[in-house]
Amino acid sequence: MIFGQPAPCLWLEIGFGSGEHVAALMERHPDHFFLGAEFFINGMSAFLKMIKDRKHDHVRVLMDDAMMIANSLTDGCIDGIYILNPDPWPKKRHHKRRIVSAENLDQFARILKPGGQLIMSTDVPDLAEWMVTQASRHPAFTWTAQQADDWRTPPKDWIKTRYEGKRAKGADKMVYLVFEKALHDNHTPYA
């Protein structure tokens, strides 16, 4: 038991940057539990400074590869996963490093509860296409978009990140992708 007590609602954020999104979620949902991973010390340091004066016994963070957390979790224990503005690894030879991959989606499907959400965002068109393609091909996930505005408009109660506000690299549109895990537990690995 990660928190010393059952976590009735548990979310994972992969690559949380400076942590403003996790911190805002903690404030909005004080009864929820959060796991976060950030590889870089500057982001981790900024997050820890941000929450130092808050009661924060419902959050655990790791400064390392997020897949270490995902691989260690039990089946069906996570309500949702955030992957916000991940590194696009633009060179084709580096695409295998992208966090949204068939292998990682297998792990996300394993740890998500039935009906759990995989929420992703990016301002890089090539990466958006990659994420939609990879997640749509996975048998455990269904894209919730019904119309174009569903991925062009932030989901209800969206918390804007600092990165999103910068509109880095000249991208003029952010893409918001929400996938749900199938309600049945019979997930077959995609890879």
Q: In the chain, what are the domains?
A: 10-181 (3.40.50.150)
pLDDT recorded at residue 1: 65
pLDDT at 185: 55
Give the pLDDT confidence score for residue 57 in this predicted structure: 84
- Which parts of the chain sit beneath pLDDT 70? 1, 167-172, 185-191
pTM equals: 0.90
pLDDT in tens, 175-186: 999 999 998 755
Displacement of CA 65 from its chain's centroid (Å): 13
pLDDT of residue 171: 57
pLDDT at position 188 is 54
Element (H, E) at 10: strand 10-14
H or E stretch at 14: strand 10-14
Q: Where does the chain have alpha helices with state H?
A: 20-28, 41-51, 66-72, 102-111, 125-137, 149-152, 162-166
- Identify the active-site residue in 57, 87, 123, 126: 87
Q: Is residue 87 annotated as part of the catalytic site, yes or no? A: yes
DSSP 71-124: HHSPTT-EEEEEEES-----SGGGGGG-SSSHHHHHHHHHHEEEEEEEEEEES-
pLDDT at 65: 93
- Largest Cα separation within the chain, whole Å, is 45
Nearest to 163 by CA among 81, 171, 150, 44: 171
Backbone angles phi, psi at 167, to 5 degrees: 50, 55
- At 129 the pLDDT is 96
**Contact assessment for residue 23 and residue 56, using Cβ atoms and an 8 Å cutoff:** no
